[in-house]
Amino acid sequence: MKRAILIHGGAGRVKKELWPSRIEGLKEAVLRGYEALLSKDDSIEAVVEAVAAMEDSGLFNAGRGSTISFKGTVEMDAAVMDWRSRFGAVGGVPNIRNPVRLARYVMEESPHRLIVGLEARNLAYRLGFKEYPIEELTGLRRVEEYLTRVKDKPSSFYGKLFESGKKIFTDTVGAVAVDSQGRVAAAVSTGGLLFKFGGRVGDSAIFGAGIMANAICAAVATGIGEYIMDSLLSYRIVEYRRYMSLEAACRKAMGFLTRYKGMDTAGVICIDRFGNLGWMHNTEMMGRAYMTDGMESPDVGMVGEGFIKV
Ligand code: GLY
Nearest atom in ligand 1 to 225's CA: 4
Checking if the pLDDT of 15 tops 60, the result is: yes
In the 8-state DSSP scheme, what is residue 59? S
Residue 136 has pLDDT above 50, yes or no: yes
- The DSSP result for 174-215, as a single string, is EEEEE-TT--EEEEEEE--STTPPTT---GGGSBTTTEEE-S
| 148 catalytically annotated | no
pLDDT at position 231 is 96
- Report residue 120 CA to chain centroid gap: 19
Cβ–ligand 1 contact at 265 (below 6 Å): no
Q: Best of 8, 90, 170, 204 to mutate for ligand 1, by most ligand atoms within 8 A of CB?
A: 204
Please tell me which residue in 67, 170, 172, 222 is annotated as part of the active site: 172
Q: Which atom of ligand 1 is nearest to the CA of 190?
A: 2
Cβ pair 11, 171 in contact under 8 A = yes
Average confidence (pLDDT) over 92-104? 96
DSSP label of 3: -
CATH superfamily of 4-308: (Glycosyl)asparaginase (3.60.20.30)
What is d(CA 139, CA 143) in angstroms, rounded to the nearest whole number?
6
- Cα–Cα distance for residue pair 171/85, rounded to 1 Å: 25
- Ligand 1 within 6 A of CB of 75: no
Share the mean pLDDT of the chain: 91
d(CA 6, CA 280): 12
Tell how far CA 187 is from the center of its chain: 7
pLDDT for the residue numbered 170: 64
Q: Is the CB of 12 under 6 A from ligand 1?
A: no
Q: Largest Cα–Cα distance in the chain? A: 59
Least confident of 72-86, 159-173, 276-290, 291-305: 159-173
CA of 10 to the centre of ligand 1 (A): 10
pLDDT band for position 94 (50/70/90)?
Answer: very high
Residue 59, Cβ density class (10 Å: 0-12 exposed, 13-18 middle, ≥19 buried):
buried
pLDDT, tens digit, for every residue of 190-234?
999 888 888 999 999 999 999 999 999 999 999 999 999 999 999
The whole-number average pLDDT for the span 50-54 is 98
Q: How do strand 114-116 and strand 87-93 relate by DSSP bridges?
A: parallel
Which atom, in ligand 1's list, is nearest to the CA of 192? 5
**Which has more pLDDT, 133 or 52?**
52
| Ligand 1 touching residue 65 (CB < 6 A) | no
- What is the pLDDT, as a whole number, of residue 154? 44
Spell 18-48 as b/e; 16+ CB within 10 A means b. eeeebbebbbbbbbbbbbbbeeeebbbbbbb
Task: Answer yes or no: is the C-beta of 192 below 6 A from any ligand 1 atom.
Answer: yes
Instruction: Report, as an integer, the average pLDDT of 114-136.
Output: 90
Q: Where is pLDDT greater, at 58 or 144?
A: 58
Banded pLDDT at 159 (limits 50, 70, 90): low
Q: How far is the CA of 296 from the centre of ligand 1 (A)?
A: 33
Average pLDDT estimate for 263-291: 95
Rounded CA gap, 213 and 221, in Å? 12
Q: Is 222 in the pocket of ligand 1 (CB under 6 A)?
A: yes
pLDDT of residue 151: 54
Q: Is 172 close to ligand 1, i.e. is its CB under 6 Å away?
A: yes
Mean pLDDT of 58-72: 90
How confident is the model at residue 155, as a pLDDT?
43
Q: Name the pTM for this structure.
A: 0.91
Tell me the CA–centroid distance for residue 112 and ligand 1, in Å.
Answer: 22
